[in-house]
Homo-oligomer: A and B are copies of this chain.
Amino acid sequence: MNQLQAAFYEGNQRIRIGACTPVPPGASEVQIRVSYCGICGTDLHVFHGAMDHRVHIPQVLGHEMSGTVVTAGASVQSFAPGDRVTVRPLAPCGHCPACHAGHSHICHNLKFIGIDAPGALQSLWTVPVHTLHRLPESLSLEQGALVEPIAVACHDVRLGGVASGEYVVVLGGGPIGLLVALVTRSRGARVVVSEVNPFRIKLAREFGLDVVNPLETDLVQKIMDETGTAGADVVFEVSGSAAGAEMLTKIPRTRGRIVVVAIFSQPPKIDLFRFFWRELQLRGARVYEPEDFEAAIALAASGSLPLDRIVTAIQPLEALAEAMHELEGGGPVMKILVRCAES
């Protein structure tokens, strides 16, 4: 029998690998053997202590995962041991105004599993059954761990209303920006990615994406040239940078749509005059709804996304802290998966 392990965040960039304490599933819960868990930008924020007010140290992080059901609670009918699954890690309260309005994914009291509750970076993980989505046989468990970030991208693209034939710009070519661009392309739209990191630029170009380094190329001019001076139909702000906040009003067409995906920890200056002048539209997009997970699974299973190449490394649980530092280094890395238990 393999040893059951867990990675505990213990504050201030400290990760301790220790024994996983399996939690017996309640009536509406399942226990999952976690195969892979991806590392997300949010995990990096937690690692650096920026979210210590939300986590409970020692805290198991992680929410981009794949695994297999080990035990199902007494009331669980829709899933059984052996089922390959991923988890939509949201636990809404069910009774706040957002939940009543049908926006439970952004519930006023939302618990994000992996931040506000123990996460997937452990061998055995117990979660409510309502969070599960089944992985088809055609999807490997490695690929299944990418469903969560693909669902983010599917949500963003859906809220952006991207239609076939539209001209779309993605500001920022990290994992989410890249997936937004790939999902956009899968919808039949023309997409341009703006990114400054050389490795990210190279990788995105290998995927056949049109990538511009705005420090070298005049992005506004390129877009105006390619749209007959109309501007872009849709702009996704995934960089979280002041440069992105400034760019986002310069490039959309009249009534163009802007989707804010990135987290801006400080309010940037925004050209509201341009919103008025061009009747621009902006909306924020956060996490996902169940249909976005289903769309992500279908898209991943279609084989049309270069998922295996987005994963630039698979590391053992013991290498978690090292992997986190690597992700921050700006080097040749896109998505790192962590192996949590033997499949």
Residues on A facing B (Cβ under 8 Å): 96-98, 100-101, 103, 106, 108, 159, 227-231, 237, 245, 253-255, 260-265, 267-286
Contact = CB atoms under 8 A, between A and B. Distances in A.
B281 A260 contact: no
Contacts of A97: 227-231, 253-254
Contacts of A278: 106, 284
B279 A101 contact: no
15 contacts: A97-B227, A97-B228, A97-B229, A98-B253, A101-B230, A101-B253, A106-B278, A264-B273, A268-B270, A269-B269, A269-B270, A272-B284, A279-B285, A280-B283, A280-B284
Contacts of A227: 97
A98 B254 CA distance: 6
A106 B284 contact: no
Nearest to A284: B275
Q: Which 9 A-B pairs have the closest CB atoms?
A: A97-B230, A275-B284, A270-B270, A264-B272, A276-B284, A267-B269, A98-B254, A281-B283, A103-B254
Nearest to A283: B281
Given A101-B230, A254-B106, A268-B270, A275 B283 contact: yes
Contact of A282 (B228, B231, B255, B282): B282
Contacts of A277: 106, 284, 286
A267 B260 contact: no
A262 to B, nearest CB: 8
Contacts of A273: 263-265, 267
Given A103-B279, A106-B254, A272 B245 contact: yes
A230 B100 CA distance: 10
A28 to B, nearest CB: 26
Contacts of A268: 269-270, 272
- Most-contacted residue by chain B among A279, A280, A281, A285 (CB, 10 A): A279
